Structure 1
C-alpha cells in the first residue's frame, strides 16, 4: 500500500467528531461541504477607538465572517482595528478569541483594553504562568 493510499485509508477510517458543533468554524471546515459562511452585518457598527477607511473595511469584514485575520507591519493600526472588532462583538452579546503566534501582540490588545478601563472583558491566557495569574485575580 503506497503512502498516499495509506493516508487516504486512514482518513476514511477516522472516527466521527461527535462533540464539534456543526455550525462552528471548525465544524464547517471539517464538513464535506467545507463552507465557511458569511454572517449578516449588524445594523449598527460602532468605532469607539477611532478608525480609517482600511480599518473600517477590516472591521466590517470581520463582523461578517466566521474567521478574520488582521495582519500588517508595525504601526498600521492592527490593534486599533481589533479593539473596534471586540467592541462590536461584545456589544452584540457574543464572544471573541484574539489569538496570535506572538504573545506581545495579544498582550498589546489587553493593555489597550485596560488603558480604556475595559480589560475586564478579556482573559490573557496562552501559557501556564498567564493562566495562573488570571485565575489568581
Structure 2
C-alpha cells in the first residue's frame, strides 16, 4: 500500500492506494477494492457583482456625430464646453486607461452639442462622451 498527498481546490487530502498486479490468477480470485469518494469541497458563494453603469444613450442629435469612448477608463480632463467649435483632430478629452493618458480627438469638425460625461467619471467602451453637430 502506498500513501500520497493530493491537493484539490486548495485542500490537501491523504490517500492510500493499493498497487495491483493483474495476472490471470489474482484478478479472478481477489475482488478489487473500491476507492472511497473524496469529500466534496465547499464552494464559496460567488462574489456579488456591482451593478453595471447604464450606458448613456446617444442624444437625438439630428445628424450630429457621437464621440464614443474607444476603451474603458476614467475621464481625467474635458478640453471642450458645450457650444465650442472644434476642428478635426482637436483634443476633446483626456482618458486614463491602464495608467496611460489617452487623447480622445474629434473625427470631424463641428460644434459641441452635448457633453455626456463629467471629469472623474468612469466610462466603458462605446459610452457616449459628447455629441458634435
Larger radius of gyration: 2
Structure of higher RCO (CA pairs closer than 8 Å, 6+ residues apart)? 2
TM-score, length-normalised on structure 2?
A: 0.21
